[in-house]
Amino acid sequence: MSLITANYADTPSAPLGHAVLFHVMWVENISRSRLNQLDEWREHVDPNNASADRLKKNKVIREVNMDDQDSSGPPEGSCIVYKLLLRDNANNFTYAYEQEPLPFLRRETTGTPMPIKLGGRILVKQGTQILRGALLLNHKNCEYKGIHPGDGGLVATLNEGVAARAIDLLSSSMTSTVASTVASNPPR
């Protein structure tokens, strides 16, 4: 079955009427700024080109978590929130957000900032909440099936050049954000 998110765009909240099998097309860590994500991907591609103080050889600190009161809190990485771009078998795309940390996004090590290999299958169960066309995922309403052997071509296409694609996407989104901010706030 498929999910046409346009049918839910004006609906504040609704349950998913049937289970839908999706492919994971993209995963983004939305708990980090785009600038930090861009730096992370650039460092992955070329560690010598990372944002650093060249005179002191120290990494540049771009953000500080002011909510962290003590070091005995949750382990690092527990505050990460992922947004997934999913595609069903009818080529309908939708976004899904974590309501709670999903184990499959934290188990795998890909050697890149991407938490899992793209192209894996995820079953979103009936009753999953849809808010304005986006799915809200938790460990009870979705089941990660992994990469199916029949999806080899899709997996290869999605994961080949993933670093360059991530850098391009983040750079262009930051450029368009700056352009729209300048356009909406012209100099006086």
d(CA 168, CA 165): 5
Output the average pLDDT for the chain. 82
pLDDT tens string 96-109: 999 999 999 998 78
Answer yes or no: is 155 within a domain.
Answer: yes
- Asked whether residue 73 carries a pLDDT value surpassing 50, the answer given is no
- Is pLDDT larger for residue 89 or for residue 171? 89
Answer yes or no: is 66 within a domain.
Answer: no
Residue 168's region, left for phi above 0, alpha for psi from -120 to 50, else beta, is alpha
Mean pLDDT, residues 128-134 taken together: 94
pLDDT tens string 149-165: 999 999 999 999 888 88
Note down the domain range covering 146. 5-60+77-181
Looking up residue 177, the CATH number of its domain turns out to be 2.40.50.770
Answer yes or no: is 71 within a domain.
Answer: no
Answer yes or no: is 67 within a domain.
Answer: no
Number of structural domains found in the chain: 1
pLDDT tier, 55 (very low <50, low <70, confident <90, very high otherwise): very low
